[in-house]
Amino acid sequence: MRMSTPITLTILVGLGLAGCAAPNPFQTNPNQNTNSGMITGAVLGGMAGAVSGKGTPLQGAALGAAAGAVLGGVAGSVVDRQSADLRQQLANSGITVTNMGSYLVLNTPSDLLFDTGSATLSPGLQRDMQLIANSLNLYPASTIVVVGHTDNTGTAAFNQDLSQRRASSVASSLIRGGVASTRFQVVGRGEDEPIASNLNDAGRAQNRRVEIIIRPTSQ
């Protein structure tokens, strides 16, 4: 099937821009996700505009690319700003903030949050949970997935239940901090998604964690 000229041009331009904006692994660009979001939005918007039927295909592609770039840039800038804010507020807390480009992942070691085998949140972490809740309230246009993980100590059924209860405890803490409950999805993964070896203490400690995944929605 022969691809129409406007769509072909949109894709080629987008790929060219992506090549120009390829991240340098030795340099941190605080606007990298904004730039990437604009490029992705331009490509997708251009493709949609080309087949929209508004004006000529070329006009539609141009309008769609412009609109997509704006929307993509807005989403990327929100992720960049919230990531920078959270890293500053949670410095030295033990909670890591990873900017994935289109969403954020907050990784909290379960050993900081809970006693062994418990799903009761440590009182010492309430301040950090409130800081996260404040950020979620400051950036309300997002959904939140709280995912609990364990190591492989004990039975799989016990670990599944524990991970679910721990994720629920974290979500409940954030909801008490003022975050709307409708924004949350709570998931327990048990021992199924390790990020390190379960053959040693250091690896098992990394696997015991609760992740808070923040995904911006359309503005």
Q: Which residue has the higher pLDDT, 194 or 54?
A: 194
Q: Check pLDDT > 50 for residue 84.
A: yes
pLDDT category, 69, cuts 50, 70, 90? very low
Residues 93-149 pLDDT 10s: 999 999 999 999 999 999 999 999 999 999 989 999 999 999 999 999 999 999 999
pLDDT score recorded for residue 53: 57
Other CB atoms within 10 Å distance of the CB of residue 157: 9
pLDDT score recorded for residue 57: 57
Q: Check pLDDT > 50 for residue 25.
A: no
pTM for this one? 0.69
Query: Sheet containing 209-216: which strands, arranged edge to edge?
Result: 96-99, 104-109, 209-216, 142-149, 184-188
Q: Check pLDDT > 60 for residue 62.
A: no
List the structure tokens of 111: 């050993």
Q: Check pLDDT > 50 for residue 66.
A: no
pLDDT score recorded for residue 71: 46
Q: Check pLDDT > 80 for residue 40.
A: no
Q: Among candidates 213, 216, 219, 217, which has minimal Cα distance to 104?
A: 213
Protein fold of 90-216: 60s Ribosomal Protein L30; Chain: A; (3.30.1330)
Q: Check pLDDT > 60 for residue 63.
A: no
